[in-house]
Chain A
């Protein structure tokens, strides 16, 4: 399947970055319309960034509020009347649903592909745009429409539960998983509207994935065979595969649920001869692969960061690339591990448990290869690198705790407790969020042509890192001790009169949440500060060899004035650091020397 045509010189023509010109994609055309109807992948990526960060802010805010509510056990023993308790519980249920649903459908799933993918993928391909720019814009507007719809619905529900009187204050209180028959028969929220929102969001996701696959197939430049692709592209390719293969099933699932709730077709409702567990099969057939939609692109980012800041060729390129594909394909056949206790047959449990363990192996391979890349490297602890290292640690914890849950017998007491909550936050947030922020810091100079304040950003990192672990590690302990998830109130004393200690863990966790929140605001601060008074960024501030660094920062409308020729994206020989203003430049003597040294070795 390689698109390599004819022999290409190892370095091709000189990969010298093109100097910045006054005309770039930001000021190429002016006016709101030129943004609203732009077909430029960079502008679309930017618009995505604003929207997605906004929804992250919202969902994060509600995470903080959920944690705040959990500071107090809020039990009837505390003397609250039943009525007051009920409304408090409703508020909590609406809030955790909003947090989960917005985070999953509007932040984590689109974050890396839609923002960084949109912006970077064509440039790493040395292309002028994605394969279908109109589709790209359509995908963005799907996200906007679905998102606005979805957020308004959820938010109105929460405000209503808080006592504000808002139009259509139905909201959603099913949790982001929409389990039937609660969602179709009992839920107070407006499930119909929510499913429509999810459907539209899913459509956006499908279009993006489709676009990326076509781009990677059709637009690779001369010299970029399949195994000369940057690993970020491999990751995006695998992600897109999942997006187009799994999301349609989510679409039909929410459509069925919608019809179920609206006119009672009774596919999932036991009161009408349906099977609620069938819904879980439908739902997780999408939603488990979706977890890898969230984490795979992050792994791609990490590979890029590790290479750029350890000044060393990636270790085991083909294994990392293939492990992405392996994870993508295996991820489709592990959905049943969300249902070990749902009463599905033991045979099914056995099969799903086995495949679940199988996924652990490619993940482990990735981690070890990253470690090997660090070996005898020349490591620079810039901010993106800090996030990369943080990612490796957190992903290791998240992945390893997955072993507990894959092991059938151990999964039984642990599942649906805070252990699960901690586990998937380590994977989905600890990994995806860290990679995302790291990637943002890494490509920020390219996106805006501005550098940021290293020290400031380092401080922010430590807040986030410490806060994160303080938030979620205690939840492992609370979970093993039996604290169930999605509990608005929890017991202080267990039945035999001993203290449950849940309060302690919840308070530790809440403290951590506030710390992390502070850290994330600091991160935002570094970006704003950079936009307002950041230094002019050189075309290649990190000395990476992937194509996006060969066009000026910020890039012009067409990215490249002449289409670059790709070579080994991780062969850094020849790149020489000049100065903060000039960044890294390609130097032939340097290249020769490096190659010589390499051969000698």
Chain B
């Protein structure tokens, strides 16, 4: 365990932050600009995972396991969410025969 965290610490923290920030942004952009729901779901997963990476890095730098514990929580919750999300997508596909997010716009004004 000690070795892993010291191995992680070889790379400066800033790199992790930049990396996960970049990942987060990529996910964000994907959410914003993709119209396929599946792709968007994946982008949200990407954002979650960038957070996971960041947490892990901090956890290692702070020598505090709590961060990594939290990562597990996030993974579980994300799995549950994706399960729900995909079922919603399936349901939607049945109703509108499409996975384009902008097709769903009857609720407005």
Q: Do A and B bind each other?
A: no
- Report which B residues bind A (CB closer than 8 A): none
- Report which A residues bind B (CB closer than 8 A): none
